[in-house]
Structure 1
Amino acid sequence: MNSLEDVVKFFKAYLDVDYAGNVAVYSESDEVLNGRRDASMKFWHAVPGTFLSPGFGRPMGMTAEQLSQLSATANLAHRKLFMVVEYSDPTWGILYTGYIGGDRETTAQSYAGLLYATKIKGDLKIIAHYREDIDKVSPPVHWRHSQGAEMTSLATPVAVRALEAPTGRAAHRQDWETLRNAVADR
């Protein structure tokens, strides 16, 4: 069993690697970018029959001039970790959800995804990624499967570690506050 603080550190370490990968897309050689992808993949575990991949990449073989042009369009931001929620799940046992922000300055203050993690062979691993279902009105925020394992309906949270409220969209903040208070209300 992990403490929520350990899970927060895990997700934050992943987001550091994710940011380095996003920066590499715009400024580094193919070799460095591939190294960043490899580092990112160490946080992931694809269950049989599923696909999981980092959210960053570019065509290989770009020239320095092409990279320079590409970097001129970048408005990268380090993703924020807004909240970690712990669930007791019949399939996975202890399951953790990390609510993360966007990777651009324009999306960094809003929810951009959920990362699900659990222990695999003794180590925390990300097993699924979900994105907001923008076809449904929030709050609550509705999520759709993006990659990895598909989660069934989760039970009431066991524990919540609220870190920072999203401020980009009022519906995200309201959803964050409701979930933050879910355990305290029991």
Structure 2
Amino acid sequence: MTTIEDAVIFFNAYLDIEHEGNVATYSASDEMVNELRTRSMKFWHASPGTILSPSFGRPMGMHPDQLENLARSVNLARRTLFLVAEYRGPDGNSIYAAFTSGDRARTVQSYGGLLHAAEVKGELKIIASYKEDFDRVSPPVHWRHSQGAEIALPGTPVAVQPLEAPTGQAAHQEDWEGLRDSVTGD
């Protein structure tokens, strides 16, 4: 049975692979980018009829000069894992929500994504990805479905593991504090 601590380890391992893939996109061979995409996909599970894929990649066969030009235009950062919350799904099983930053130096202190994971055949897998809905005023932060299953998180989390507060936007920090304080006794 997965615990919230296991979910934190899982999400951090995924964010490590994702960052390695983002860096490779701008510097490594096509083979290496494909290898990292394959490794990344082991963290994901797409329900029938849904699409899920890693957030990194590039057209194959790019000339090294093109990659060098691309690399100069980007300032990558490993996404920050701000908080993991555990919710009880309608079937009684746990759904874990990972609140993450963006993957650029300018967005690493603000919310940039929300990943949902659940046990699939005894293994934790990412089943959905959300982005902040900038058309709606925060707080609370509103999320827009990006890919995977559409998840409606039920009410208050049953457990929360706060890791690092977002400092880029006051609304994100207020939302993070509300989630952190939503479970008594933790």
How far apart in 2 are the matches of 1:31 and 1:112?
28
TM (norm. structure 2) is: 0.97
Contact 2:87 2:153 in 1 (8 A): no
What is the CA-CA distance between 1:119 and the residue it aligns to?
0.4
Identity of aligned residues (%): 60
Worse overlay, 88-97 or 138-147: 88-97
Q: How many residues align?
A: 186
How far apart in 2 are the matches of 1:73 and 1:92?
46
What is the CA-CA distance between 1:36 and the residue it aligns to?
0.7
Aligned to 1:162: 162
Q: Deviations over 1:52-74 (max 9, x none)?
A: 00011111110111111111112
Mapping for residues 30-179 of structure 1, pairs under 5 Å: 30-91=30-91, 93-179=93-179
Aligned to 1:2: 2
SS in 1 for 2:107: coil
Supply the RMSD in Å over aligned alpha carbons.
Answer: 1.3
Contact 2:109 2:168 in 1 (8 A): yes
In structure 2, list runs of 5 or more residues that go unmatched: none
What is the CA-CA distance between 1:156 and the residue it aligns to?
1.4
How far apart in 1 are the matches of 2:92 and 2:171?
29
In structure 1, list runs of 5 or more residues that go unmatched: none
Mapping for residues 17-28 of structure 1, pairs under 5 Å: 17-28=17-28
What is the CA-CA distance between 1:153 and the residue it aligns to?
4.3
How far apart in 2 are the matches of 1:78 and 1:153?
26
Contact 1:87 1:157 in 2 (8 A): yes
Aligned to 1:11: 11
* Structure 1 stretches of at least 4 aligned residues deviating more than 2 Å after TM superposition: none
SS in 1 for 2:146: strand
How far apart in 2 are the matches of 1:58 and 1:17?
16
SS in 1 for 2:106: coil
Q: Residues 99 and 164 of structure 1: is their aligned pair in 2 closer, same or farther, counting only changes over 3 Å?
A: same
